[in-house]
Structure 1
Amino acid sequence: MTDKVFEKAITKQFEFDEEVASVFDDMLNRSVPFYKEMQRLTINFALNFLEENDKVYDLGCSTASTLIELSKHSHSKLDLIGIDNSEAMINRAKKKAKAFGVDIKLINDDLDNISYENAKLILSNYTLQFIRPLQREKLVKKIYNNLRNEGIFIFSEKVISSNKILDKQYIDEYYEFKKTQGYSEFEIAQKREALENVLVPYTEEENKKMILDVGFDHCETLFKWVNFATFIAIKK
């Protein structure tokens, strides 16, 4: 379905409800520049680390697109687990996984309530940015503690610039991208207002510092387009 969520005046802050879940795949593809390329790189790099029966968690899995693609491209059987606190998203994910014939354990719960035991790979695509900073760092520490040695954490985030001039240019460039995807200025403004104080982005440097501070041995940017970035972190 086509994303038309913000064609009408907003009445509440952004949330991943049934209305958003029903158009989420279209929203991602039209709202996140090079989303498919980011997903492709995530899967390709992840597969270099994964072996038979390795456990993979996707935090904020939404409609399970990344786990489905990972399964399709893996030559090994993987233990796939998707977690999302949106019941609407999990319901969509279950239907999609069934349609593609992919075995995924899908859990509707808060990320803090899950124990990511024996994880070889943990994914988080545009999820941490919706978690308050203090809780975000606690979750990243939990991710580190539960990863096996040689495990990896791949995550994507919207980022800001510490330079005000560049940050304004980031925003302008992103809005121009959204216009090319068919979104009107009204829709763009409505979504920005709905996300105010809901999505709290870090700079690229702050994301890396957070990762290294909890104990990861290495973190670098795998992909970046203006204010969207994908990072890979390794636990030795």
Structure 2
Amino acid sequence: MIDASYRDAIFSTPLDRVASFSFDERVVACFPDMVRRSIPGYGQILGMFGVLAERHLRHGAHVYDLGCSLGAVGLALAGRLPAETFELTGVDLSPTMIARAREIAASESPDHRISFVEGDIRQLDYHPSGMIVLNFTLQFLPPADRDALIARLYAALEPGGILVLSEKIVAPDEQENAWLVERYHDFKRANGYSDMEISQKRTALENVLVPDTLAAHHQRLAQAGFSRVTTWFQYLNFASLIAFKDKATSRDEAAIKDG
């Protein structure tokens, strides 16, 4: 298991100026505790990745975990699937995250083919894959870059492949959204965060994490070409979707063989 011994106390003291949130050394040190106490349903979502891969991933296929942080998606798959079942590449922009992810994977899943790449997921040269995971990652990209990335990921997926997208969302109705945000803050208080911590982190994330509506995610995925999109999980203002790429027709398969 990922070491969760470091408690998130980054915003526990008053700050004269709250800097924009970044995935620096302090965040890496307490990241398991941070996501556990800050993202409703995080453990349940993570636990389902192995189930989804078991159901939809062809034997030996490649998997991308984009914005992989400490590599929890790879560990989730490795905990359920034999080593020969898949190969996974985790990608993250934070060198500190990548370095720690490599250490954890080598310790926890040494027999599985799990590797990590430091890089920008908008510029990556993607290889054909059977499953791509964006687990609370797209929300940190500029909104103007999101459509193009999803289109590239659709192109990288093999016929019959899946994309799993987990995101913080915003409700289109102002009153509903306010209620969800208030209950989310209650969730964080119940997990030990103070009002000061909640307020300061919210300030730090302003213009860094920009959520979309659930409808916008569905529209973007459909526009990219996915034949079916299902919201399979929602807990307050956090949700996870699965998008399916059609299997190749006999005509498509013939074209692939012809080069």
TM-score, normalised relative to structure 2: 0.89
1:4 is aligned to 9
Report SS of the residue matched to 2:63. strand
Equivalent position to 2:138, from 128, 138, 146: 128
- Higher alpha-carbon deviation: 47-56 or 126-135: 47-56
Amino acid at match of 1:134: A
1:85 is aligned to 93
Q: CA RMSD in A?
A: 1.1
- Higher alpha-carbon deviation: 110-119 or 141-150: 110-119
Q: Does 1:160 align with 2:170?
A: yes
Please say if residues 49 and 76 of structure 2, whose CA atoms lie closer than 8 Å, have aligned partners that are also in contact: no
Which aligned pairs between 1:213-228 and structure 2 lie closer than 5 A?
213-228=223-238
TM-score, normalised relative to structure 1: 0.97
Kindly provide the CA deviation profile for residues 43-98 of structure 1, in whole angstroms up to 9, marking residues without a partner as x: 21222112322000000000001111101201343111000001111011011101
Cα distance in 2 between the residues matched to 1:65 and 1:83: 12
2:204 is aligned to 194
Please say if residues 58 and 130 of structure 2, whose CA atoms lie closer than 8 Å, have aligned partners that are also in contact: no
Percent identity for Structure 1 against Structure 2: 35
Q: What stretches of structure 2 of length at least 5 have no aligned partner? A: 1-5, 247-259
Number of residue pairs matched? Answer: 236
Query: Radius of gyration: which is bigger?
Result: 2
Q: Give the drift of 1:42.
A: 2.8
Cα distance in 2 between the residues matched to 1:87 and 1:47: 30
Kindly provide the CA deviation profile for residues 118-163 of structure 1, in whole angstroms up to 9, marking residues without a partner as x: 1100001000000111211110000001101001000100001000
Report SS of the residue matched to 1:15. coil
Report SS of the residue matched to 1:89. helix
Q: Does 1:53 align with 2:64?
A: no
Please say if residues 116 and 147 of structure 1, whose CA atoms lie closer than 8 Å, have aligned partners that are also in contact: no
Report SS of the residue matched to 2:133. strand
Which aligned pairs between 1:88-107 and structure 2 lie closer than 5 A?
88-100=96-108, 101=110, 102-107=112-117
Q: What stretches of structure 1 of length at least 5 have no aligned partner? A: none
